[in-house]
Copies of this chain bind each other. A is one copy, B any other.
Amino acid sequence: MTDDTRPEKPDAADAPDTTSPVADLIAELVDSYDHEDLLQHINKAFLPSRERVIQFIELLRHLIFPGFFDTERVTQDNAREHVRGLLTQVHHLLHDQITQALCYERNITRENAAQEQAGGCEDKAKTLTAGFLHQLPQLRHMLGLDVQAAFDGDPAAVSTDEAIFSYPGIDAIFIYRAAHELLALGVPLVPRIMTEYAHNQTGIDIHPGATIGQSFFIDHGTGVVVGESTTIGDHVKLYQGVTLGALSTKGGQSWRGMKRHPTLRDHVTVYPNATILGGETVIGEGCVVNGGAFLTHSVEAGHTVRVEHPQPQLRAQRQTKKKTGG
C-alpha cells in the first residue's frame, strides 16, 4: 500500500451538487464500448438468462428426486399434484430459455422471432422442450444406477439417501446428464450454462458433449475435468482432481469438432490428480491409474499405471528437534 496517495482534487467537494461525481466517466466508458467490441453485446439479440437456467435446474432436481429437497412432505396422495405443479414450471422455464437461445443463435430479437412462420424459434423450442421432458423417466433410470454406484463404491456412504442429499458427484452427474440430452437435441448455449453451474457448485467440470456410460461415480470431485470429446464406459470411477483433457496445441480453433480427449473403457478407476490427455489415448478395460500420473499414451486392458513411490530422505535439519528434545 502506498502512503503518497493524497487527494488530488481537494476542491471536488465544493462543486455544485448537480454535477454527479461520475459525469466525466460516462462518456469515457460509452466510448470504450465502441472500441472494445468483443466485450459488448449491444443492439444484439438477448442472451439466455443464467439465473433462469439455474431456476430450471433446481426445479428439475425436485422433479427427479421427489421428497428429498422439498419444503413439504411428498406422499402417495399428493405426488401427482407435486409432479403437475413442477412440470408446468419446468416446461415454461425451459421453453422460454430454449427460445431465447435459438433467437440468440440466429441473432434475431424475440419480437422479430414472434413474427416468423412455423419453424421459427418458438415452434422449434416447443419441440425441443417436449423432446427433453419425455426423456425424464429414462434420465431417472440412469441416475438410479449412478446413485447405486456411489453407494457401492464409497464405504463412508451411510445410505443412498445420503449420496443423493449431499454428494457433489451425484449433483454434477445429474446436471451433466440433463445438459447432455439438451445438447444432443440441438439446444445451443443452455447446456453449457448448466454444466458451468454444476462446476461452480461442485468444482466438477464435465462438458455437456462428453459421452458417459452407466454407473458412473465421481468421489469428492473438486477439480475433475471431463473434456468435450471424452468417451467413458460403464462402471468407471474418478477421484477428485482427475483431468480427462486435450493436449494444448498451436492449432487452437482448427481442432474444433475433432476427438481431442481420451477414451476410458469399462471398469476403469482413476485416482486423485491424475491427468490423461489426447484423443488417441485409450485406457483399457479394468485399468487402474494411480494418483498424480500424467498419461498421454494408451494403456492395455487390465493394467495398473504405477507411479514410482518417491524416496523419503532424512531431512538435513529436523524441524521437530526442539519439540522432541532430541
Is the pair B293, A315 in contact by a Cβ cutoff of 8 Å? no
A83, chain B: closest CB distance, angstroms: 5
Which residues of A134-184 have CB atoms within 8 Å of chain B's CB atoms? Answer: 134, 136-137, 140-141, 143-144, 147-148, 151-158, 160-162, 164-168, 183
Is the pair A124, B5 in contact by a Cβ cutoff of 8 Å? yes
A51, chain B: closest CB distance, angstroms: 8
Is the pair A32, B136 in contact by a Cβ cutoff of 8 Å? yes
Is the pair B186, A253 in contact by a Cβ cutoff of 8 Å? no
Chain A contributes a number of interface residues (CB within 8 A of B) equal to 174
| Chain B residues within an 8 Å CB radius of A251 | 155
Given known contacts A33-B79, A65-B39, is B133 in contact with A22 (CB within 8 Å)? yes
Which residues of A301-318 have CB atoms within 8 Å of chain B's CB atoms? Answer: 301-315, 318
Is the pair B73, A39 in contact by a Cβ cutoff of 8 Å? no
Which residues of A251-274 have CB atoms within 8 Å of chain B's CB atoms? Answer: 251-258, 260, 266-267, 269, 271-274
Closest to A31 in B: B137
Q: Which of B7, B293, B294 contacts A123 (CB 8 A)?
A: B7
Q: Which of B12, B73, B167 contacts A126 (CB 8 A)?
A: B12
Closest to A203 in B: B222
- Give a binary string over A41-76; 1 marks a CB under 8 Å from any B CB, 0 the rest: 111101101100000000000011111110101111
Given known contacts A241-B273, A248-B237, is B10 in contact with A87 (CB within 8 Å)? no
Does A246 sit at the interface, judged by CB under 8 A? yes
| Chain B residues within an 8 Å CB radius of A148 | 38
Which residues of A280-323 have CB atoms within 8 Å of chain B's CB atoms? Answer: 285-288, 290-297, 299-315, 318-320, 323
Closest to A301 in B: B320
Is the pair A25, B269 in contact by a Cβ cutoff of 8 Å? no
Is the pair A286, B319 in contact by a Cβ cutoff of 8 Å? yes
| Chain B residues within an 8 Å CB radius of A228 | 156
Closest to A48 in B: B165
The CA-CA distance from A205 to B168 in the complex, in Å, is 10
The CA-CA distance from A209 to B285 in the complex, in Å, is 34
A96, chain B: closest CB distance, angstroms: 13
The CA-CA distance from A161 to B104 in the complex, in Å, is 11
Is the pair B223, A240 in contact by a Cβ cutoff of 8 Å? yes
Is the pair A288, B315 in contact by a Cβ cutoff of 8 Å? yes
Does A214 sit at the interface, judged by CB under 8 A? no
A198, chain B: closest CB distance, angstroms: 11
Is the pair B162, A189 in contact by a Cβ cutoff of 8 Å? yes
A4, chain B: closest CB distance, angstroms: 8
Does A21 sit at the interface, judged by CB under 8 A? yes
Could you list 30 A-B pairs, sorted by A, with CB under 8 Å?
A: A7-B124, A7-B126, A9-B127, A21-B91, A22-B84, A22-B87, A26-B83, A28-B137, A38-B148, A40-B74, A42-B76, A154-B252, A155-B252, A156-B227, A156-B256, A157-B253, A239-B245, A241-B273, A245-B272, A271-B275, A271-B277, A271-B294, A285-B320, A285-B324, A288-B315, A288-B319, A290-B310, A292-B293, A302-B315, A303-B312
Given known contacts A147-B38, A153-B252, A193-B166, is B275 in contact with A275 (CB within 8 Å)? no
